[in-house]
Amino acid sequence: MGRDIVDIEFQGQLAAGTVSKLIERQDIRGWVNGDFNLHLSLQKPGQSRILGALQAGGFAYENGLERPLQVKDVSIQGEKDRLLVESTDLAWGETPVGVKGTIGFSREGIDLDLVAETGGLDWENISRLADVEGLPGKAPGDGGDEGALDLFKDLEVAGKVLVKADHFTYRDLTWKPFHVSLERLDEGLQARLTRGSLCGIRTEAVADVSSGNMRVEAEAAASGQPLASTLNCFLETELMTGEFDLTAQLASSGKPKDLLDRLQGNITMSAADGRIYKFGLLADILAVVNITEILKGQAPDLAGEGFGYKTVEAKGVVEKGIIRLTEGNIKGNSMDIAFSGDLNAPEKKIDLIVLVTPLQTVDSIIESIPIIGDILGENFIAVPVRVKGDLSNPAVIPMSPSAVGKGVLGILERTLKLPVKIVQPFLPEDE
C-alpha cells in the first residue's frame, strides 16, 4: 500500500477487533468475510479495479453522533470498474435505512448511483449530523494520523444519491412521501425534491448547499384537492369543506434555521362549493358586526350546518416569511366577506381588515336598519372590522368607515359588480 496506489486482497473472515486495527479507527467495529480484491489508483482512479464479493456487519459508527449509525449487514460485489451494492441493512437510531446501487470508478474519481430508502427523516437530526461531521472535505476522525479510510478522502465524488423517505419533517411541516436527489457540485451539494406532498399539496424544490448556507427555490400546486383533509393535516381540525386549487412560487436563502423567516414569493388559492364550520374567528367577526340583526335571524349557524360558500379566493405575496394578502374574498350564500392584510407565520400573528356584506341591497333591508335610510339606490352595505393579534385568538375590533382603504373595498365592488357603502358596525346593545 502506497500513497498513490492501494492494493487490498482479502479472503476469509475478520472479527471486530481485527477490523478496528486494520483501518486504524477504534470507533468502527464489526465483522467482515468474503473473497475480495481491490486495486485503487488515487492519481488515475479510472484505472482502478475491484473484483469478488464481500459481506460485513455489526458496525456502529459513532464519531460524536447523538445517534450512532449502525451497519447491521452489507453485501457488495466487485464488477471490474464498479462496486455493486447488492443489499444493506442500516439503522440511524430507530430509523431503518436500506441502500442499493453502484459505486463506480471514473477518470475524475468516484461516481455514485445509489438509492437509499428509509422510513422517515427529521431536519433537526440531519443538521446535528452535519455539525458533527464538519465542513465538506474534512477527513473523518479526530484529525490524528491517517488511517486506511483517509486515503479515499482526496478522490472527487460525483453522481447521484436518490433518497426515498416515507416522510420528512422540518419544524412543524411534514412531507409524505419525500424523495430527494442529492448531487455533488463544485462548491457544495444540490438537493432536488423529485416527489413530495405537504398535506396533499404537491411540492417541487431545488436546494443548493455550500459552506453552511442554502439557497432554495420551490413550487407548490394543488388542483381539486379536498380542503377538509388538507386543513385537518395542517391544523388538526376540520374548519372547511370543498375543493381547492393552489399555486405558489417561493424562494429563500441563508442558514437552514433561518429559511422560513426569509421566505419570499407569491401564492394564489381558490376553493369552491363548501361550508365553513366551527371557525371561532368568523363567529367573533359576525358577533361584532351584529349580522344577525341585519339578516333578521338568517345568520349562518357555524356550530351546526355551517356557513355555505360558493367560492373563496385569495392572492398574496410572501415577504420574510409574512404572507401579505393583497386580495381575499369569500362569496357566501348569505353574505360576502372581503379581507386583506398580513399573516405572520414566524411570529404566529395576524392583522387583517375585513368587510362583511349581507347579500341584500339597501332597498331590501332599509326598513330594518333606519340608520342607513339616507342611502339610496341599488347599493350594498359593508361593515368593517379589524382582526389583529395572536393567530390562535386575535381580537376583533370595530372600525370606522373612514379608516377602510380603497383596496379591500375594491375587492367587494369587483365581486358584487355594484357600488358598496361602508357603514359603522351595528354593535350589540350591551356594548
Domain-embedded: residue 255: no
- 250 lies in some domain: no
* 214 and 277 fall within a common domain: no
Same domain for 272 and 221: no
Q: Same structural domain for residues 25 and 147?
A: yes
Domain presence at residue 407: yes
Q: What is the DSSP string of 97-131?
A: EEEEEEEEE-SSEEEEEEEEEEEEEEHHHHHHHHH
Q: Residue 352 falls within a domain, yes or no?
A: yes
Distance CA(360)–CA(343), nearest Å, equals 30
Taking only the tens place, the pLDDT of each residue in 156-169 is: 888 999 999 999 99
Q: Are 193 and 206 in contact (CB under 8 A)?
A: yes
Residue 305 lies in a domain: yes
Q: Are 199 and 230 in contact (CB under 8 A)?
A: yes
**pTM for the full model?**
0.75
Q: Is residue 308 located within the same domain as residue 223?
A: no
Of 183, 207, 227, the residue at which a domain comes to its end is 227
Residues 119 and 179 occupy one common structural domain: yes
**Listed range (49-53, 104-108, 337-341, 376-380) with the worst mean pLDDT:** 376-380
192 shares its domain with 296: no
- pLDDT tens, residue by residue, 343-390: 887 788 899 988 888 765 444 444 444 444 444 345 567 788 888 998
Return the pLDDT at 408: 66
Do 17 and 143 share a domain, yes or no? Answer: yes
Q: Which residues of 227-252 are buried (b: 16+ CB within 10 A; e: fewer)?
A: bbebbbbeeeeebbbbbbebebebbb
Per the structure, the complete domain to which residue 339 belongs is given by 263-422
Domain-embedded: residue 268: yes
- 364 domain residue, yes or no: yes
Residue 240 lies in a domain: no
Residue 342 bridge partners (DSSP): 324, 351
pLDDT digits (tens, 9 = 90+) for 228-245: 999 888 876 677 899 999
Count of domains observed in the chain: 2
Task: Check whether residue 221 and residue 286 sit in a common domain.
Answer: no
Phi-psi region of 127 (alpha: psi -120 to 50; beta: other; left: phi over 0): alpha
Q: Which of 120-124, 163-167, 325-329, 400-404 has the highest mean pLDDT?
A: 163-167
221 with 307, same domain: the answer is no
